[in-house]
Amino acid sequence: MAKKRGNNEGSITRRKNGLWMAQVTIGRDPATGKLKRATFYGKTRQEVAEKLTKALQERQQGTFVTPHKLTLGAWLETWLQHYKRPRIRPSTLDSYEIIIRRHVHPMLGHIDLRDLRPEHLQQYYTEKAQQGLAASTIVLHHKIVSHALAQAEKNQLVVRNVCRLTELPRQPQKEMQTFTIAQVTTQLLSALQGDRLYAAYLAFFMMGLRRGELLGLRWHDVDMHVGIMHVRQILVRIYNRDATGGRKTRLSFHEPKTEKSRRAMPIPAACLAALRQHRAHQAEEKLLLGPGYQDHGLVFAQADGGPIDPRSMHRYFTQALQRAGLPAIRLHDARHTFATWMLEQGVSPKVVQTMLGHSSIRMTLDVYTHVSLDLEKQAAATLNAAFTGRG
């Protein structure tokens, strides 16, 4: 008589069709709390017993992988829809889907998940670099695949996350393009006097707002009496998943990405004065259009009250620079200009971090290393002068 197997040693039974089946508990489903079992089939009892013994050994060694036939492409789709979609912003989901569909899936999607090796990913990074992708973009690809494999590791679909065994391309320090205070005040703002978005350009340079933050700003987020602005909403363009042959993308309002991005900011007096003038002009536009005005309560809107497309805002900014005779920079560089000015004026990096809505001060210092290093040199010179008595 065969010896009865103990707890956690699995079970072997014969099916009605004559095949043998072995089962072993491999853990609990984190979502349901139910026991998860692996099943093996064979023509003989010895065949399934060997499979079961191998599985038990791998479970003890921590190298057990649940039997499956998933490819990397199939798992990325599962991970994206069931693990990420409920937790990330639609715009972030859109970017992940584009990267997977256009880049990762064509090159790596066919590989069995269990057979994926570090060299597959290393070759992918190399080829993408040869195609001209920036190092920072390749790092983002790596991050997406790594997060997906980390979940697969938790689910016992792979033995290890092979992304940890790869070497990423070196990211060169980007040289930021910023304007001096004189360039902004003397050239840009002078050329834009009377522009209906004058207050918006001023806010970009004097408050360091992100494009989506400024375009999502509502009047009830601005306390004109105490001079405080609250960042509570952003405007982004996302895929129109509800479309049935219409537009592929649409504008959508969302909460800021992180808790640090939700912030209250003091409004400089010059910005406050410009906002008052802007509100008066907006009231005239509203009165002129009457029932045709789309009132979303937005601070910066189109003439009919509708939201301004972020892409259009960038175009308006480029045209404004041309009118002022200034070199072309990105709209996001206005934010860099603001942070650079603040640090050059001796404002604490911690304060700058809070005003920018960065998630950590490390991020602020990493982005503005060139400025903070100059400040550190000044501080060292000040200490040296005090120590030696020489000014």
Alpha-carbon distance 85 to 79, whole Å?
9
- At 313 the pLDDT is 96
- At 3 the pLDDT is 47
Question: Domains of the chain: which residue ranges?
Answer: 11-61, 72-165, 181-328
* CA distances to 67, 205, 293 from 284, in Å: 68, 26, 11
- At 175 the pLDDT is 73
- At 105 the pLDDT is 96
**In this structure, what is the dihedral angle of CA atoms 73, 79, 85, 86, given to the nearest 10 degrees?**
170
Q: Which tokens is 294 given?
A: 């789309």
- At 389 the pLDDT is 73
- At 244 the pLDDT is 60
Alpha-carbon distance 209 to 168, whole Å?
31
48-77, pLDDT tens digit by residue? 888 787 777 766 666 556 666 789 999 999
State the CB neighbour count (10 A cutoff) for residue 259.
10
- At 346 the pLDDT is 84
Q: Which among 217, 251, 258, 313 is positioned nearest to 91, based on CA atoms?
A: 251
Q: Which among 190, 208, 207 is positioned nearest to 198, based on CA atoms?
A: 190
Are 67 and 38 in contact by the 8 Å Cβ rule? The answer is yes
Q: Is 62 exposed, middle or buried (0-12, 13-18, 19+ CB in 10 A)?
A: exposed
Q: Is 199 exposed, middle or buried (0-12, 13-18, 19+ CB in 10 A)?
A: buried
Q: Is domain 72-165 given the CATH code 1.10.10.10 in the classification?
A: no
Q: Which among 369, 364, 340 is positioned nearest to 350, based on CA atoms?
A: 364
Give the three-state DSSP class for 87: coil
Q: Which residues of the chain have pLDDT under 70?
A: 1-9, 26-33, 58-68, 173, 242-247, 369-370, 372-375, 390-391
CATH topology assigned to domain 181-328: hpI Integrase; Chain A (1.10.443)
